[in-house]
Amino acid sequence: MDFKNYIGGAWHETTEAVNNINPSDISDIVGVAAKAGAGDLDQAISAAHHAAPAWGKSTPQQRFDVLDFIGSEILARKEELGRLLSREEGKTLPEGIGEAARAGQIFKFFAGETLRQTGDRLASVRPGVDVDVTRFPVGVIGLITPWNFPIAIPAWKIAPALAYGNAVVLKPAELVPGCAWAIAEIISRSGLPAGVFNLVMGRGSEIGPKMIEDPRVTAISFTGSVPTGRGIAAACGANLKKVQLEMGGKNPMVVLDDADLDVAVDACLNGAFFSTGQRCTASSRLIVTEGIHDKFVGALAEAAANLKVGNALEAGVQMGPVVDEKQLAQDLEYVSIAAKEGGKVLGGERLSLASDGFYMSPALISETTNNMRINREEVFGPVASVIRVRDYDEALSVANDTEFGLSSGICTQSLKHASHFKANAQAGMVMVNLPTAGVDYHVPFGGTKGSSFGSREQGAYAAEFYTSVKTAYTLP
């Protein structure tokens, strides 16, 4: 077994195992991964439960040293880890290396945060009394992650969890055990005490609910799809468990008549199709005012048709495969739904290439309206639709007419419209003349409406989720 579970400081095999398949070439088995059952999960939670109190009392220096070690090693090995990522998930090699580097930067950021933990000392409203407000660890945190950012998302949950003194049980997505194992392997040599970090690879629907119901797990941080997230929120509510959810998107990108055409085409090409469109922040609704509409659609269609689709590990490839057969079938199904609804489809076809993988051409669907299914539901593939609107006011109203609220973008040279959009777009992140996807790691990440629930991830704001607050009163 290549990718084992890591429980209580030791590597654990399981009786069942899963083949990790390269989506660029299905004859390539990346490795054989453990498939945990309830017993393995129980051991991991028990290990975390016993290790949590001592780690919660560790010094900032101990935490800094561990996180700095992990971040430094990931950065030093970003090419190798990026290659593993691209091989198991299918994003191109430069994207894989970029994501690995991002994971390293995140650990480095939270290493710094260990030394910056603050509290407040206030005067009481009562004479002679002092008030202290301090933060303390939450306890054992269950982390449940998706397949599309297999190293960065675990990193942006593990790093703050450890930085603020918590113990962790990570359950990564079944499709990407390699990256989760690689992080665990680095953590196993970082000096972190046994049991503080545990990796349990297994089926989400089997072990996920058990993790949420276990009273020793005090909080759950989840990233994934809306239906899974809703179920987790309900179960956490019933168990009075702290919960943070990052879910789907149907992110709008508004292109106004006064936009720089090249900037708009680049932003939409990147936002819609890079990482094979498999980003929660992908630009999937392109909302374009009528003066620039035809020019914009023509230029974007040409750029999309020229994207080189191929094996993620090959030099020069700009778009890798879809992650698996099921996701590919879903993407193609949405393209056909859009065509039946009256959309004009360019691309969006399954491709047979030299290596046998899950390839499709990028799909650009014009002449759509915002009430079509293609504009209401998340596809999670290289599929973008275009909605023609009269003016800025209609564009803003269409952009906000969605149950999601993760990222929202506008391409314009008008300061007035850009400022108004930043203030009125119903989204947790707003981009002006930039793709809806692609964010910094030192600032909060997250959405509004149906995209997110609970406090923000990343940057100093992560402390809200990974700590609890204590207010102490003293009469000296």
For residues 114 and 284, which CB has a smaller minimum distance to ligand NAD in the complex?
284
Instruction: Give the Å distances, CA to CA, from 17 to 13, 14, 31, 179.
Output: 9, 7, 10, 16
Those residues with Cβ within 8 angstroms of residue 190's Cβ, 6 or more apart along the chain or in another chain: 66, 69, 70, 73
Residue 92 C-beta: closest distance to ligand NAD, Å: 18
Please, which residues bridge with residue 32 across strands? 19
Does 231 help bind ligand NAD (rule: CB under 6 A)?
Answer: yes
Q: Output the CA torsion sign for 206, 379, 396, 300.
A: positive
Helix (H) or strand (E) holding 246: strand 242-246
In 3D space, the residue among 259, 258, 252, 295 whose CA is nearest the CA of residue 433 turns out to be 259
At 388 the three-state DSSP class reads strand
Residue from 82, 90, 137, 146 that binds ligand NAD (CB under 6 A)?
A: 146
In the stretch 373-412, what mask flags binding to ligand NAD with x, by CB under 6 A?
Answer: -----x-x-------------------------x------
Does 199 help bind ligand NAD (rule: CB under 6 A)?
Answer: no
For residues 256 and 312, which CB has a smaller minimum distance to ligand NAD in the complex?
312
Count residues binding ligand NAD (CB under 6 A).
Answer: 29
Distance CA 301, CA 346 (A): 7
Residue 106 C-beta: closest distance to ligand NAD, Å: 14
Residue from 15, 205, 352, 371 that binds ligand NAD (CB under 6 A)?
A: 205
Question: Any catalytic annotation for residue 394?
Answer: no
Does 225 help bind ligand NAD (rule: CB under 6 A)?
Answer: yes
Residue 156 C-beta: closest distance to ligand NAD, Å: 9
Distance CA 476, CA 128 (A): 7
Q: DSSP code of 357?
A: -
Residue from 67, 70, 232, 287 that binds ligand NAD (CB under 6 A)?
A: 232
Distance CA 224, CA 249 (A): 11
Those residues with Cβ within 8 angstroms of residue 345's Cβ, 6 or more apart along the chain or in another chain: 335, 338, 339, 363, 364, 365
Residue 59 C-beta: closest distance to ligand NAD, Å: 32
Q: At what angle do helices 177-188 and 78-89 cross, to 10 degrees?
A: 150
For residues 66 and 103, which CB has a smaller minimum distance to ligand NAD in the complex?
103
Contact 130, 123 (CB under 8 A): yes
Given the residues 73, 99, 246, 378, select the one marked as catalytic. Answer: 246
For residues 273 and 296, which CB has a smaller minimum distance to ligand NAD in the complex?
273
Helix (H) or strand (E) holding 5: strand 5-7
At 136 the three-state DSSP class reads strand
Residue 472 C-beta: closest distance to ligand NAD, Å: 35
In the stretch 276-315, what mask flags binding to ligand NAD with x, by CB under 6 A?
Answer: ----x-----------------------------------
In 3D space, the residue among 463, 425, 468, 426 whose CA is nearest the CA of residue 444 turns out to be 463
Both tokens of 421, joined, read: 């959009």
Question: Any catalytic annotation for residue 280?
Answer: yes
**Range in contact with ligand NAD (rule: CB under 6 A) among 2-10, 84-92, 93-101, 220-228:** 220-228
Does 253 help bind ligand NAD (rule: CB under 6 A)?
Answer: no
Residue from 31, 160, 249, 454 that binds ligand NAD (CB under 6 A)?
A: 249
Which positions lie near ligand NAD, rule CB under 6 A?
A: 144-149, 171-174, 204-205, 208-209, 223-225, 228, 231-232, 246-249, 280, 378, 380, 406, 451
Q: Catalytic residue positions?
A: 246, 280
